[in-house]
Structure 1
Amino acid sequence: MSTTKGNMDILFERRFELLWPTLSEIRLVLKHVLRALNVKKDEVDAAGLVATEYLTNLIRHNEGSEQHIFLRISQAHNDGYTLTFIDELTPYNLFKKNNSQWKLGSGNLVEGGMGVELIRHYFKEAEYVSDKGKNYFTFPLEHIDKRPTVIYVDDDVTQLALMSAYLKDHFQVVPCESIEAGWQAILTADARILLLDHKLKNGTCEPLLEKLNQSNLKSQLSVVMLTGDDSEEVISKINRLGVDDYLIKPVKKNKLLQSIERVTHRFAYLSYQTTFESTPSKIHLQNDKSAHLFGSISLGNGGDFFMPINDECSAFVLGDMMGHGLQALKESFAIKGFISGFLATGLPYQNMLAALNNALYKQQLCKSSLVTLVICFIEDNKLFWLNAGHPPPVVILNNGKVRQLTGTGPLLGLSKEHNYTLYEAGLDDVEHILLYTDGWTENRFTDKDEIGELTKIIPQDCKTSEEFAHCLWKNSQVTLSKEIDDASLIIIN
């Protein structure tokens, strides 16, 4: 329920610590809350970019002291919203402090120099005001369409026209005459509802559902199936495919609208709260090195997971469950529980990996998911790792060159007995070590040379190892709509 301050209805308000991990948390909140408020995808992405730039400057300005920041989303009128960041710091007016000549189309990354140009490009009416000991950074969100998007797949053009007429007052309808067109719409239309006609002229919509269920996109869609066959066999098959509701044809308009309203209740993100157990953003390792943790593993909000596996924090596990969100998080608990139990035996890490592989092969846990993981430790200025289907580590040398190490074993659970190899690499000429989950590169570097693309975002002239880590994470952020998978990064230096 909203509250009112002045002439504004406050729809969402939360307090955050002004720390580097908060940047990822606020991006996550914006992604869910703004989409729930029907802010158009491009403007959600713009808000994410501007919030990232503003908070980066604010955190740097505040580094070393304990402070908080408020995020408030308000509604001033029926057609738009206002996003406001509120702090009680010494005033830091980014519009006046930033005198960079950086231009948006230059293609160059300039640390701390992109703020004003970026903000003004997306939100010309953005303001920074200080009043009674508080600072307010505000910008309006005006590109709103209250109608959620429905993708409707049916190869009968008459039915497409009829259902589109039923829905057009309440929804944006994307009609598709084939399952191939339906899949493309799922990838591009930012829809909330997938409406399918079960029986098509050349088969059924089942292949589309099977493909959806194997992807990371299922959690974003409510699925309603229309069928002319109410036999027990067909209904049972439909339910096994994971639909949220089905309707027997012919379908009346009010029944269709009621069904869609019912299944979309699970997208009520306005009460969104981050209640997951978070991980420290910096962990001290042996050999005077630190691990800086970013993304899903630092928030504990998905299938990526991080586990120190001894008291000295000299060794750790980085894992990645297939999928993302709550379902992947649930599956990761089973893996972490197994690892914790096995580590209590004191047996070597190789034995633990072999036992976990055997348990997954026998489907004793995680029957509906796959997991990759890497176990790492540093000893005698060498990096050692065991790898089960995970991207191998990347090192950045003292001369700035980027190199991906070689050493990957098969996915867990593919064969009954596999002895995983312990790989090693010397660290004499290494300045930074990067370990990450697939989402970190796939969200940004799809179908590109990962190392070549990574080289482009390596920050230059950082004064400290910690500053390097935070700048690299910031440089790697994508627009919110491109975050199709959980993304996590560990930087050791």
Structure 2
Amino acid sequence: MRQVLKHVLGGLSIIDDDLDAAGLVITEYLTNLLRHSKGEDETVVLLITRTNTSDYMLEIVDDLSPYNLFELNESDWDINSGILVEGGMGVELIRHYFPAADYCTTNNKNHFSVPLKQGKDKPKAIYVDDDKAQLALINAYLKDDYDVVSCQDLTEAWQAITLHDAQVLILDYQLQKQTSEPLLIKLNGSDYRSTLSVVMLTGTDSEDIIGRINRLGIDDYLVKPVKKVRLLQSLERVTNRVKAFEYQVQTPSNMIDYGMSDGFRAHLFGSIEVGDGGDFFMPIPNQQNGFILGDMMGHGIQARKESFAIKGFVRGFLASKPHCNALLNGLNQALYEEQLCKNSLVTLLVGYVHEQRFYWLNAGHPPPIAIDKEGNVRELQGVDPLLGLSVEHQYNVYSESLSDLQHILVYTDGLFDNRENDVTELQQIKQLLSNISLNDGDFASILWQNSQVSLSKEVDDASLIVIN
């Protein structure tokens, strides 16, 4: 849920205070929902809707037995008291951050809602047209909802696309010297198209032209003259469609717990659990039940798209049944020869358990961290260079005995980069472990929860694997 809130609410320019508060409050409400449920197996729906004031409403809808936490809360606990109590804190927490939070039951459905404020930064729209009067008209239509960048030719348009983090491109088809087709072709061959919606706004409704433009992959086609409300509806629809695609998991892992050899388990948390960014997890079930943890350079949808090429290579390589110890050398050669991922870098760690030892290969990834049964914490020495730098390098297989270890931590660098802390990763882990029992059955979950930062501070995808 945190992943959804971070990416979607961030894309809607919700102010940081409301973004961070939403992470706390929705977590608290869902915890309350589970605590008071009666074992029903029902769907819980998250809705984000726009209000009449151009802000947003975040809503949880469920079919469970009604439990109005505001009416049934009998605690007089005060959030400023500094005293922790067993019950009643959640309601006060919700009211503290969202005084207008509401709970009601309508048509056998329970609705919990909180209002969210949109930030001052408007989404950007690039409009390309050689008619100055038309530029002025569309700018007048959109100025209350969008920061409009106006362009009169394709050169200006491409510069605007590369310079501005725009959400939508509005194009006139027929310009003075040429059509806008060359810009669409160039755009489709770039990384910008994955996050930029395209609306064609033109004076022609020729079936031939419409067919040609549709083959170039536009999101909507509007014929001039267009009414303001029709244009705004189109822009909202196509930009929301792109947001939905960005965070749709095409190949969900649905995996939070992976069984390894010798009775060990890998507990998965973060981006790899939901598959929404550049971090990725791949099980290797036919070879000691090992796994691969990867981290593509970048964040969000583009990093995830780049990771598909790596995962495709890995699947093909392992399908021919070589041992995973040879995987990094084969992938290194492919990257060195630029057969894939020409525009990105990847760190990769391959890990597996065999006869009570943990084995790993490491291409530029943070080193695993070992926690022994006495609570001592240390980094496992064994890191090789990034993939694709030298075809001569042969990647090593490192190992560590598991007989005296309680946990092994494998993670992507976003776990600590997001924390904006000057101390080392090892020191941060020691701080996080100070109040956790190493023998707690929920050790992995508690460690992950303690490592969380405010949603607005998550600048990189973060993932954690706890092996025990």
What TM-score, normalized to structure 2?
A: 0.70
Residue 282 of structure 1 aligns with an amino acid whose one-letter code is D
CA contact (8 A) 2:297 2:346 kept: yes
Corresponding residue number in structure 2 for 1:356: 331
Whichever residue aligns with residue 141 of structure 1, its letter is P
- Pick from 50, 55, 73: which aligns with 1:96? 73
Amino acid across the alignment from 2:369: V
CA 1:242/1:471 → structure 2, altered by over 3 Å: closer, same or farther?
closer
1:288-343 Cα distance to aligned partner (Å, 9 max, x none): 22211122212222222111113366311111112233332222222122212222
Counterpart of 1:148 in structure 2 is 122
1:87-122 CA-partner distances (Å, limit 9, x unpaired): 515848487388877759x7x999999634432321
Q: CA 1:345 to 1:143, structure 2 compared with 1: closer, same or farther past 3 Å?
A: closer
Contact 1:303 1:322 in 2 (8 A): yes
User: What is the DSSP-based 3-state SS (H/G/I as helix, E as strand, rest coil) of the residue aligned with 1:428?
Assistant: coil
The one-letter amino acid of 2:57's match is: Y
Matched, 1:289 2:230: no
Q: Secondary structure at the residue paired with 1:452?
A: helix
| In structure 2, distance between residues paired with 1:63 and 1:458 | 34
Structure 2 equivalent of residue 343 of structure 1: 318
**Is 2:20 aligned against 1:45?**
yes
The offset of 1:385, in angstroms, is: 0.8
- 2: CA distance between counterparts of 1:462 and 1:195? 59
The amino acid across from 1:84 in the alignment is I
Partners of 2:410 and 2:149 lie apart in 1 by: 36
Which residue of structure 1 lines up, in the alignment, with residue 371 of structure 2? 396
Distance of 1:430 and 1:456 partners within structure 2: 19
Give the residue type in structure 2 aligned to 1:96. N
SS of the counterpart of 2:428? helix
Contact in 1 for aligned 2:329/2:394 (Cα 8 Å)? yes
- 2:357 corresponds to 1:385: no
Residue 150 of structure 1 deviates from its aligned partner by 5.1
Q: Aligned in 2, Cα 1:63/1:86: closer, same or farther, shift over 3 Å? A: closer
Q: Hey, what does 1:426 align to over in structure 2?
A: 401
Aligned to 1:276: 250
In 2, the alpha carbon distance for the partners of 1:488 and 1:311 equals 24
TM-superposed CA distance for 1:441, in Å, is: 2.0
Counterparts of 2:365 and 2:87, CA distance in 1 = 33
Q: CA 1:241 to 1:29, structure 2 compared with 1: closer, same or farther past 3 Å? A: closer
Q: Any idea what SS the aligned residue of 1:54 has? A: helix
| 1:98–1:62 distance in 2 versus 1, CA, 3 Å | farther
Q: Deviations over 1:259-289 (max 9, x none)?
A: 9999987632575673422221111222222
Secondary structure of 2:338's partner?
A: coil
Q: Is the 8 A contact 1:150 1:171 kept in 2?
A: no
CA change 1:312–1:81 in 2 (3 A) is: same
Match of 2:302 among 304, 321, 327: 327
Distance in structure 1 (CA, Å) of the matches to 2:34 and 2:375: 26
- Is 1:317 aligned to residue 289 of structure 2? no
Structure 1 vs Structure 2: percent identity of aligned residues?
40
Deviations 1:121-167 (A, max 9, x none): 21123345568876x46243152469715599xxxxxxxxx9xx979
- Check 1:99–1:422 CA distance in 2 against 1; reply closer, same or farther (3 A cut): farther
* Maintained 8 Å contact 2:191/2:302: no
Query: 1:309 touches 1:317 (CA, 8 Å); kept in 2?
Result: yes
Q: Which amino acid aligns with 1:364?
A: Q
Any unmatched runs of 5+ in structure 2? 127-135, 171-176, 199-224
For residue 285 of structure 2, give the secondary structure of its aligned residue in structure 1. Answer: coil
What is the one-letter code of the residue matched to 1:278?
Answer: P
Cα offset, 1:242, TM superposition: 6.7
SS at the partner of 1:308? strand
Gap change, CA 1:103 and 1:268, over 3 Å in 2: same
Q: Distance in 2 between matches of 1:487 and 1:139?
A: 28
Contact 1:147 1:170 in 2 (8 A): no
Which residue of structure 2 aligns with residue 138 of structure 1? 112
Corresponding position: 1:435 with 2:423: no
Query: Contact between 1:302 and 1:326, CA under 8 Å: does it hold in 2?
Result: yes
Structure-2 change in CA distance of 1:241 and 1:360 (3 Å):
closer
What is aligned with 1:467? Answer: 442
Report the counterpart of residue 306 of structure 1 in structure 2: 281
Displacement of 1:172 after TM fit? Answer: 7.4
> Is residue 42–residue 62 contact of structure 2 (8 Å, CA) maintained in 1?
no
Distance 1:357 1:375 in 2: 14
Amino acid at match of 1:357: N
Of residues 100, 103, 128, the one that matches 1:125 is: 100
| 2:239 maps to 1:267 | yes
- For 2:78 and 2:376, the matched residues in 1 are separated by 29
CA RMSD of aligned residues (A): 5.1
1:472 Cα deviation from its structure 2 partner? 2.3
One-letter code of the match for 2:93?
Answer: L
What are the equivalent positions in structure 2 for 1:194-273 lying under 5 Å apart?
A: 267-269=239-241
Structure 1 distance, partners of 2:235, 2:386, is: 35
Once the two structures are overlaid, the 10-residue window that deviates more, 41-50 or 120-129, is: 120-129
Which residue of 2 is the match for residue 83 of structure 1?
59
d(CA) in 1 for partners of 2:73, 2:108:
19
Where 2:73 maps in the other structure, the secondary structure is helix
The structural deviation recorded for 1:409 is: 0.7
SS at match of 1:444: coil
SS at match of 1:407: coil
Cα offset, 1:358, TM superposition: 0.5
Q: What's the CA shift string for 1:11-40, capped at 9, x where partnerless?
A: xxxxxxxxxxxxxxx333334444565543
2:251 is paired with a residue whose SS is coil
Q: Is the 8 A contact 2:125 2:169 kept in 1?
A: no
Q: Could you tell me which amino acid in structure 2 is paired with residue 276 of structure 1?
A: Q
Q: Which runs of 5+ in 1 are unaligned?
A: 1-25, 153-161, 174-192, 199-204, 213-217, 225-229, 246-253
C-alpha contact 2:411 2:464 (8 A) present in aligned 1: yes
Instruction: After TM superposition, give the deviation of residue 438 of structure 1 in Å.
Output: 2.0
